[in-house]
Amino acid sequence: MIAAAHAGPQPIHHKQLTEHNLTEAIRYCLSSEAKSAAQGISSKMRRENGVKTAVNSFQINLPVDRMRCDILQDQTAVWQYCHKDKKSKEKTIVKLSDEAAFVLVESRKIDAKSLKLSV
């Protein structure tokens, strides 16, 4: 990317590195062309808002629906409870917030030992 923008030399693979091509690469870095290109990149970077863009991207791609508690949907799930249907023997994973898990354990609806931390 730097070489394509003319702000630096083409990369040199360590197996091809010689005194000569390293010297030439350093000379190019010190050239007015490289300095001018680097200043152009710097100017573009100053106009960008990289942190805001990264945060927006993170929020857009965050799988919020998969992180919600199945009972208290305004809360984040931190526990998983594996419910086994006695008749069909099917297993269902229930995502629980701390509050939902606490209430279910305290009311003896589920056993605390059956809870696993959600990852």
Banded pLDDT at 87 (limits 50, 70, 90): confident
pLDDT in tens, 12-57: 999 999 999 999 999 999 999 999 999 999 998 888 888 888 999 9
Mean pLDDT of the chain: 93
Q: Look up the pTM and report it.
A: 0.50
Helix, coil or strand: residue 62: coil
pLDDT in tens, 55-79: 999 989 989 888 999 999 999 999 9
Distance CA(25)–CA(29), nearest Å, equals 6
φ, ψ for residue 64, nearest 5 deg: -55, -45
pLDDT score for 86: 83
Nearest of 30, 36, 28, 33 to residue 11 by alpha carbon: 28
